[in-house]
Amino acid sequence: MIRKIIKIDEEKCNGCGLCAEACHEGAIGMVNGKAKLLREDYCDGLGDCLPACPAGAISFEEREAPAYDEAAVLAAKAAKQAAPLPCGCPGTQSKAIRRPSAPASAHSGPAQSELSQWPVQLKLVPVNAPYFAGAHLLIAADCTAYAYGNFHGRFIKNRITLIGCPKLDEGDYTDKLTAILRENDIQSLTIVRMEVPCCGGIEHAAKTALQRSGKFIPWQVFTVTTDGRILGED
């Protein structure tokens, strides 16, 4: 039958494995470091994998393909329920991090990390990660955590953290952020950038994504100076 199905451009694929993680049907797998459509009859043609791909390697096409076999998909899920997801780099595996509350007396000990999820790199995080539900979202330029000494306590605590560098990362963040904001119940948005001009890219992407999402979410922007201050708080 002729139907809509995904197409993977192997030359563009960077082997991150996020599409395989996003494919709930198990149609995509990693072969020799590249994403492959392993089972055409497992692909429902809805494209949950498209926004997860940071390299733009996945698109739709209409061609001859076997019909989507939901029964086979459900059977395969049941058989592999306990098996690890066939992703690329283990560092891309999405997970929430639970931390015990620090006792009130523990002021003189080492500072505790406030990070509550993994991964944090904007290009790697899945669009529909469960920790986005009801999240207060932090979008930060990666240098800010090094420049501002109390970054964990001031910004990461009680937020889901996404980082990136608009100058060094390939492509734009706007589409990925739009999908995250549109498809999840995000409660607020905090943007932290450096004062350098090139860092404006991450602020622009976040604001544009918020507009495109069609949602009204409280947001604020903080700018960190290269000597570790917050502009406007001198």
pLDDT per residue as tens digits for the range 6-32:
999 999 998 888 898 888 888 998 888
Q: Give the pLDDT confidence of 128-165 residue by residue, as tens digits.
A: 888 999 999 999 999 999 999 999 999 999 999 999 99
Q: Is pLDDT at 84 greater than 90 in this prediction?
A: no
Helices (H), 4-113: 18-22, 70-79
Q: Is the pTM of this model over 0.95?
A: no
Better-predicted residue by pLDDT, 87 or 214: 214
Q: What is the 3-state secondary structure (H, E, C) of 118-173?
A: ECCECCCCCCCCHHHCCCEEEEEECCHHHHCCCHHHHHHCCCEEEEECCCCCCCCC
CB burial of residue 40 (10 Å; 0-12, 13-18, 19+): middle
Report how far residue 50's alpha carbon sits from residue 32's, in angstroms, rounded to the nearest whole number.
21
Whether residue 86 has pLDDT greater than 70:
no
Tell whether the torsion through CA atoms of 132, 133, 139 and 140 is positive or negative.
negative
State the pLDDT at residue 211: 94
Measured distance CA(193)–CA(142) in Å, rounded: 8
Task: Give 108's pLDDT tier (boundaries 50, 70, 90).
Answer: low
Q: Three-state SS for 190? A: strand
How confident is the model over 164-187, as pLDDT tens digits?
Answer: 998 888 778 899 999 999 999 999
* Integer Cα distance of 28 and 110 in angstroms: 43
